[in-house]
Structure 1
């Protein structure tokens, strides 16, 4: 653990990297379908909850389907939220992408399987060979329930059991990955995420021994200081010290692998961002001329590759600290 004693000396991220971070060929389309969710986790950077109503519209959904149909270079359609399954457009986007042979990721909270009108989801996932990336921020019950709400751990275990029964974690085309998030820092004794490979072993051993569960991969994701995490850090006067801690652990080797390089993040209004975190901070992607980019802009241009420089901010230290962090876990 490292304690930061001089928080005022934070170096801006754009100065740290010394050159603009540039886009590579876009192969991943990540779509945030909306903020409706059956949970309100205390680390949620989207600030989703059952009280939120924002979601995709039919018009934007059709534009996204056009995008999927028009651009063979898209290899992966990554659906997130909120609980993506609760928001308009989930199944139409799944089916459009699968029809085109794209990998489809659904970022599921697992507990949605037990909500009214959503009990068919495990079978639907399996029928469409969706890759499931599911939040399970610890393999121990107490830690999960503290972060995500009382009872969430047991329901999540039941959900994984359902997926295992359908072949998830066992069959080649039924991939189940889990996500570890560390607890939100409560003092200046900050720490980086544990080594991903070792923690994956621990998860697999514990879940197999105690519940006879299996899964494919574990992703360790750093808590970025945005959304509810940002609010909490500010309330404890930890926001700048936490950023300084992340900067202290900056690893230049992660830059070639950060998710914003080959990904577009799209919100429920059709706005385009370099990544999901920029989306939550409303830092929109622009053309070299400074024009805001929407899905309609991409369709009109006939290209996904119209962004030159990636928008960065100081919270980018969260993706580049230690072994790095992205929607796919550690980077190096």
Structure 2
């Protein structure tokens, strides 16, 4: 009797089975808020599937809950604002000003081109005035590669935006942090590769951007493309989804696990639902209470505790954060 080949799912060991023990929460220090899906771009690698036609965003009620959460829990030291283009979505400036008023570090994950959209031209000055740390997407230091991933003309606008931030003191003043984010092109064949060395790539970025444009920045973060969102859709269309997942699983590095961002972070969507990370959020895998109930910001406020989550929810795409040197919103993990 001829046996059927194993299903693709069966060839990837569940992530939680690869760990020596359950993945548990540490004390929460980072509150990451996805303000919504509205964006002036529609990048091919966007796991949020954001774009100009999306309308989902924070409500005034959820914004007020988040401000109360920041006020009530001083252990939240960093507020990380993302989207979409977070600057386009409701609640952005109230959250910035509330967090800064409470002495918290505020990071905004900006696509830079938003600086040139009508109504947002004051953003660089606003960022500098409130000492917002800018984490800017620049998936390569070469123009052709950036425009292929993000759209024609995005590179030139990004360069102009970085030069403007440098003029305001970003990259020079310790209070005005400017970090760049690299992510590789979406795989187009089964010849997969790990994300390059963060240290080496930062050196390449620094040399090129300084010599060609006079641009300086503080850190480069390298991020692996996780097979979710538009990346997942593309890989599935090319029959590369399971091969890519197997590649990531085959390069699992246990040394990355203690530093996974999901361990000390709360991720919140525009409806106030909690997740362990932004990737789980995009795959609709909410954080659960010990009794198995999805949690919201309102639940934390009612319980007057940030510690309702004990075990982190994992899925096969978690291998994207542990492959090679690891990957997180703050770059490599080892």
TM range (shorter): over 0.9
Let me know the Cα RMSD of the aligned residues. 0.9
1:201-212 aligned at under 5 Å gives the runs 201-212=203-214
What is the rounded CA distance, in whole Å, between the counterparts of 1:306 and 1:15 in structure 2?
23
| Aligned with residue 241 of structure 2, among 234, 239, 242 | 239
Please point out which of 53, 56, 62 is paired with 2:55.
Answer: 53
- 1:69-148 alignment to 2 at 5 Å? 69-148=71-150
Q: Pick from 289, 292, 297: which aligns with 1:290?
A: 292
Q: 1:3 aligns to what?
A: none
CA distance in 2, matches of 1:18, 1:214: 42
In the alignment, what sits opposite 2:36?
Answer: 34
Q: What SS is found at the alignment partner of 1:189?
A: coil
**1:64 maps to which residue?**
66
Measured against aligned partners, the alpha-carbon deviations of 1:155-207 in whole angstroms (never above 9, x if no partner) come to 00000000000000000100000000000000010001100000000000000
TM-superposed deviation, 1:81: 0.2
The alpha carbon displacement at 1:10 in A equals: 1.5
Taking the aligned partners of 2:12 and 2:308, their CA distance within structure 1 comes to 32
Which of residues 163, 174, 177 in structure 2 aligns to 1:175?
177
Deviation, 1:9, is 2.0
Matched positions, count: 327
Quote how far apart the aligned CAs of 1:258 are: 0.4
Counterpart residue number, 1:306: 308
Residue 103 of structure 1 deviates from its aligned partner by 0.2
- State the match for 2:190 in structure 1: 188
Give the whole-Å Cα distance in 1 for the aligned partners of 2:39 and 2:61. 22
Instruction: Tell me the equivalent position of 2:3.
Output: none
1 CA distance for matches of 2:294 and 2:186?
Answer: 33
- 1:3-42 CA distance string (max 9 Å, x none): xxx9662111111114210000000000000000000000
- Give me the whole-angstrom Cα distance separating, in 1, the residues matched to 2:12 and 2:127: 44
Q: Which of residues 21, 24, 29 is equivalent to 1:22? A: 24
Out of 217, 220, 223, the residue aligned to residue 219 of structure 2 is 217
Runs of 4+ residues deviating >3 angstroms:
none
2:164 pairs, out of 158, 162, 165, with 162
Please give the alpha-carbon distance, in whole angstroms, between the structure 2 residues aligned to 1:10 and 1:35.
Answer: 31
CA distance in 1, matches of 2:309, 2:14: 22
Aligned-partner SS, 1:190 = coil
Gaps spanning 5+ residues in structure 2: where? 1-6
Structure 1 residue 253: Cα displacement = 0.5
TM-score scaled to structure 2, two decimals? 0.97
- Alignment partners' CA distance in 1, 2:50 and 2:293: 29
Question: CA separation in 2, counterparts of 1:20 and 1:138?
Answer: 36
Query: For 1:10 and 1:310, how far apart are their aligned partners in 2?
Result: 19
Distance across 2 between alignment mates of 1:280 and 1:304: 22
- Which deviations, in whole Å up to 9, do the C-alpha atoms of 1:252-290 show, x marking residues without a partner? 010000000000000000000000000000000011111
1:133 aligned counterpart, secondary structure: strand
> What is the TM-score of this pair, normalised by structure 1?
0.98
Query: Which runs of no fewer than 5 residues in structure 1 stay unpaired?
Result: 1-5
